[in-house]
A and B are shown apart, each in its own frame.
Chain A
Amino acid sequence: MESVVEHLLPRLKEITGFIYPNEIELHWSILVVVYPYITGLVAGAFILASLVKVFKVKEVQPTYRLSLLTALAFLLVAPLPLLAHLGHPEKSFEIFLTPNKQSAMAMFGFVYAWYLMAVLLLEIWFDYRRDIILWAQEETGPRKWLHKVLSLFSSDISERAVRFDRKAVQAVTIIGIPSAFLLHGYVGFIFGSVKANPWWSSVLMPIVFLFSAIVSGIALVLLIYMIATPMRSKQIDMDCLDKLAGFLFYAMIVDFSLETLDFIHRIYESEESIEILSELVSGKLFVSLVVIQLLIGMIVPLVAIALVKLFRTPAELRRLLYFVSALLVQVGIFSTRWNVVIGGQLFSKSLRGLTAYKMSIVGVEGLLVSIAILVLPFLILLALFKILPPWKEARHEFGPPTGSG
C-alpha cells in the first residue's frame, strides 16, 4: 500500500497552517480542470453557431458549420476526463441506473445525452442532409456508402423537403441555445452549489462559467478558422474575422465585468473565509490567477482587440493580433478553470491553512493523459472535416451540383 500513498508524504511538508488530516490528498486533479474547459468550448462554439442562425449574422456564416463540428468533436470527448478520474469508471453506468435525483453530478449523463442527441446531432444532420445526399450521388465506393448511411438513406431533396430541413435547423437552434446554457451552466452549478467550499459556493458561478465558455468557444473557432483556411490554400475572409473578434471582445467585457463583480462582492462581504482566500490569491494562486488568468488571458487580449478596433490597422497586423489574442484567451480560460477547480482545494475547510497540489506527469490523473484528452478532439475534428466538409465550396448551392470538397 505504501506505493499508493507515497506521493502524499512530501506533501506534508508543503502545508502551511492547519488542515484537517484527511485533506492532504487533493481529490479533483487536472482531469477535472480539463472537463469544464472542454464543455465550455462546446457550449461556446455552439452559441457562436446559433448567433449565425438566430440573429442571421451574415459575416460569420463561413464559421457556422465549422462551429457545429467543433462543438461535436469536443462534446464527444467531454465524458473522458470525468470517467478517467473516477475511482471506479467501470461502475459509472450506475449514474444512469440509479441516479440520485438530488445530485447535480448525476444529471451529467442526462444533460449530456440530451445535448448530444437532441441538439447537436440533429442540427448537424438537418443542416447537412441535402449536401450529404448530393455527395453520395456523385461519389463512388466506400465514401458513397458512408454518406448514404449518414443521410439515413433519405433521398428527398425537393424544395419542400429542404425547406423543412431549414425550419428544423431553426427549431433545433432555438432549443439549442438554452441547452448550451444548461450544459455549461450546469457544470458551474456542480461547483457553485458546494456550500462547504467558500471559494466555489456562489450563485454567480454558473453565469461566470457560461460567459467564460462563450469567450473560449469563440476564440477557439477563430483559431481553427485561421489555421484551417490557409491550410486549404484559401483566403481568410476578413469581414468574418473582424466580426468574430468583435463578438469575442464583447463576450470578454461581460465576462470581465462578472468576475469583477464577484471579486468586489467577496471583498465587500468579507465573510469568515476572506482571510484564507486572500492568502490563497496573493500566494499560491497569484501566478495562475492574477498573472495568467487576468493579465495575460484577459487584459492583454482585450487591449489588443480594442486597439485594432480603434485604429485602422492593416489586415496583416490585424490577423496577427487576433490570432495571438485568441491564443492568450485559451490560456487564460484554461487557467480560469484551473483556479476554480484546483484553487478551491488548496485551502483547508478549517479555513486555517493551505495545502499543495503537485501534478503528476504520468498516471491516469496526470499531465500526459490530460494532454491526450485535449488533442483528441482535434483529431476527431480532422476526421469530421473529411466526412462532412464544412467549407463553402463543398456546399451545393441550388442548381446543378458542382464538384465535392
Chain B
Amino acid sequence: MVSLTATGLDVSYGNRAVLRGVSLPELRGGEVTALLGPNAAGKSTLFRRLVGQLAGPGTVAVDGQALPGLPPQDPTRPCYLPQDSSANAALTVFEAVLLAAKQGAGGWAVTDAEADDVTRTLALLEIGDLAGRFLTELSGGQRQMVGLAQALVRQPRILLLDEPTSALDLQRQVEVLHLLRDLARRDGLCVVVAIHDLNQALRFADQVVVLGGGRVVAAGAPASVLTPALLREVYGVEARIERCSRGHAFLTVDGSVRRAG
C-alpha cells in the first residue's frame, strides 16, 4: 500500500512564513484524509509543497523515497488538483481531460487507449454528456467535475484534491465523496481532500488534519479531533458534535466567537 509522509515543512512567500514546521501523520493508501482549516490557513500551500511546486526545508517522501528523486511524470508522484478551475481555453472537455492524460508530454498522436481512458473517466464521473462541450460554456460545478476527471484520468496512487467539491450541488458532493472513498477502499488510493464542509469530513474521512496559522493544530479520527475547544480555537465558532437518530456524527453551530486580538 502506498504511503505519503511529510516532515518539518516550512514555506514562505517572500518573507512571510505560511507553513511553519508542518509534519503530517503518515497518509496511507486505502484511506481518505480531510485537510481542514479556515481560509488562508495554508491548505493550498501545503498541497503545492507536497507535489514540489514550492520549495523549502523539510522532506516529502512516497513509500519512503524522497520526492525530488522521482521524474515529473512518474505515476507514483502525488497527483494534485489545484483549487482554481476557471480556465477559459478553446478546448472541449474531452480535449482538456486528454491533455491531463498526456501530462504535457507523450507522443504527438492520440492513441485509442488514451481516448478510451478519457471516455472511461468521464463516464465514471457521469459527465460523458459534456465531452464535446467547450470549457467556456461550463458552469462552475461542471468545471469542477472536469477538474476531477483531469486528476482521475492519470490513474494516480496518491490524490491531493484542493476543495474539489466547493462548487458542486449536494447530490454531486455526495457522489464525488462516495467515489473517492470507493477508490481508496477498492483500489488502495491515498486520497487527501481539502474541504470546508465539516459534516462531509465527519461523514467521509478516515482521518482529519487541521491546519491553523501554518501549523498542524490537530490530527486523527474526525469525531475525536473536532472538539468544541478546537472548533472555537481554529474556526472561531461555538459548535459541537451531536449524533443523529441513525448514529451519524454531525456538527451543529451555535454561534460565532469574536476572536481576541
Are chains A and B native binding partners rather than an unrelated pairing?
A: no
